[in-house]
Structure 1
Amino acid sequence: MSDEKNVDELSGVQTTGHEWDGIKELDNPMPRWWLLTFYATIIWAIGFTVFYPAWPMINSTTSGILGYSSRSNVRGQLDAAEAARGDYVTAIADKNVEEILADDSLRDFAIASGSAAFKVNCVQCHGSGAEGSAGYPNLNDDDWMWGGSAEQIYATIGHGIRFAGDDDTHLSEMPAYGEILEPGQIREVAAYVYSLSGGKPSDLSLVEPGAQVFADNCAACHGEKAVGNKDLGAPNLTDAIWLYGSGEAAIAQQVRHPRHGVMPAWSERLGDVKVKELAVYVHSLGGGE
């Protein structure tokens, strides 16, 4: 190995001896300010690990000379926040949802807390914007099978729909008319129901006999004018809002083999206060009555 220094002719700077495709690497020294900064960061890092928790151990970390702990600070902040909301929680526990709605501060608190609870427990079925999907109702509109007042929403959330684990759950089941009506009658009533919401049946001659089939078999629950019955959970058939799809085929399918959705009862799982907050939040979406 030669000890002879290789100096670049143009710059007069010694090279490192590395060369790629005729290009030589100059051995320029690091700027002094950069070196000082680099050394300072090393000293700072060593000092930090001495004064603050840093090095991981088997079950903990080194505590550092100052004994600082961010966990205790966070715990203090959480305790303070919990204490601050304690008065609101107590007030919500002591009031019904209508009284909560009448109190501006309680209503705002319940909406904020209910919104957070909705994102954790309800978006899986009703969507992040509560817009629903096939089989899961939109909570922003005015169509409520069991009533859209704050108290009615509270009862629905608390006890659920067709939920076997709650004795006070909403119960209703539409008969499977595929075992009761003739296929032709199902086509007729589907055409009639479709026409109620402004739809144009494929065969208008089916509408009139369909009205009679409806009167004989469906009016007892949905009403003579098909506007529904919230005591029975029978939906309004005149508003063009369909839980399982619109059109004659979808209506005929529901008449023939109805689907019965199930919603959990949330009272036992979340507690009464959280159910009230959810009810106030859902009511605030704009579709509540």
Structure 2
Amino acid sequence: MSVIERDSVTGYTTTGHDWNGIKELNSPIPRAVIIFIIVSHLAALIGWILLPSWPLGRTFTKGVLEVDQKTDLAADIAAANIARADWMTEITTLDFDAIRADPELMNRALETAAPIFGQNCEACHGKDGIGGPGFPRLSDSAWIWGGTADDIAETITVGINSAHPDSRFAQMPAFGRDEMLDRDQISMMTSYVQTLSGGVIADDPSEAAILFQDNCEACHGEDARGAEGTGAPNLTDAAWTYGGDAASIWQTLMNGRQGHMPTWQNRLSTADIRMLALYVEAMPGKSQ
């Protein structure tokens, strides 16, 4: 039932509705709220006039102040590049030994490279270069293409199995899928590779050893330690890109592997690549 009454305390009428004995006053909007609404609208109006705001097809109103964050950012980057141009030139032109011999320059290179690594390399190689399934660990001493700054810079520049004309190339054949070995031989080779932590036994007459000599030795070497710069990894250490357990080795022998490292030549500057090379070279754990 709707009955309009006047509240004896405030003097305001009610809205005329009764909710289980609860009545609502028909009081005016508080002045503070009205002031807030007016100020907010004035601020919005001033903002529309002064700052970029309204879209106009493919462009937008520029505002009286002509504020442009994109332009401001470009100017800040240009200023930063000018400020560090001297030592960046040294990073680009000096050989790595000269950079290492200059503690201040080396520190600048490593500090600058850390976020570059985080933005471009960490997604695959993991935080601090710990690697992951299918992506090699960078913080150890197991290097297929060489772990010196010169080697690392070259790998970053041309990539591995990339579109770069000078790309490093490496491929593990699919011995099982392409019927070079049958399933029994694949299983035999899997077990044999797992025994190689102590190195290849000379004059081993076993069938597995003979299979290794006939199919694997050309790339991985007589001692199974691989050959740096050829893409053939050492099979006698604990460093495994795709896993050293039986299932992973079996999968590698059966279906082959062909990893991919993109070329960064068109994405990073020469100075960035050289700083990254020094950063990766200096990662802890290289003696492990």
Shorter-chain TM band: 0.7 to 0.9
Matched, 1:95 2:100: no
Q: Which residue of 2 aligns with 1:274?
A: 272
Q: Please state whether the residue corresponding to 1:267 is helix, strand or coil.
A: coil
Q: Which residue of 2 aligns with 1:151?
A: 150
Q: Please state whether the residue corresponding to 1:259 is helix, strand or coil.
A: coil
In 2 relative to 1, CA 267–194 (structure 1 residues): closer, same or farther, beyond 3 Å? same
Q: Please state whether the residue corresponding to 1:13 is helix, strand or coil.
A: coil
Q: Distance in 2 between matches of 1:185 and 1:62?
A: 72
1:196-211 alignment to 2 at 5 Å?
196-197=196-197, 209-211=207-209
Q: Quick one: which amino acid aligns to residue 63 of structure 2?
A: S
Q: Please state whether the residue corresponding to 1:88 is helix, strand or coil.
A: helix
Percent identity reads 38
Q: Which residue of 2 aligns with 1:78?
A: 77
Task: Confirm or deny: 8 A CA contact 1:188 1:207 kept in the other structure.
Answer: no
Q: Which residue of 2 aligns with 1:141?
A: 140
Q: Which residue of 2 aligns with 1:238?
A: 236
Q: Please give the per-residue CA displacement for 1:3-48, whole angstroms capped at 9, x wherever unaligned.
A: x962125655322334444422113345555555554445555555
In 2 relative to 1, CA 78–23 (structure 1 residues): closer, same or farther, beyond 3 Å? same
Structure 2: tracts of 5 or more residues without a match: 199-203
In 2 relative to 1, CA 212–74 (structure 1 residues): closer, same or farther, beyond 3 Å? closer
Q: Please give the per-residue CA displacement for 1:214-236, whole angstroms capped at 9, x wherever unaligned.
A: 35554454344433221323212
Q: Please give the per-residue CA displacement for 1:221-273, whole angstroms capped at 9, x wherever unaligned.
A: 43444332213232121223322232334324433543222323322443422
Q: Which residue of 2 aligns with 1:6?
A: 5
In the superposition, the TM-score normalised over structure 2's length comes to 0.74
Tell me whether 152-161 or 221-230 shows the greater mean CA deviation. 221-230
Q: Please give the per-residue CA displacement for 1:131-160, whole angstroms capped at 9, x wherever unaligned.
A: 433322222333211122222111211122
In 2 relative to 1, CA 33–267 (structure 1 residues): closer, same or farther, beyond 3 Å? closer
In 2 relative to 1, CA 134–45 (structure 1 residues): closer, same or farther, beyond 3 Å? closer
Q: Which residue of 2 aligns with 1:195?
A: 195
Task: Confirm or deny: 8 A CA contact 2:158 2:264 kept in the other structure.
Answer: yes
Shift of 1:128: 5.6
Task: Confirm or deny: 8 A CA contact 1:159 1:264 kept in the other structure.
Answer: yes
Structure 1: tracts of 5 or more residues without a match: 199-205
Q: Distance in 2 between matches of 1:55 and 1:233?
A: 55
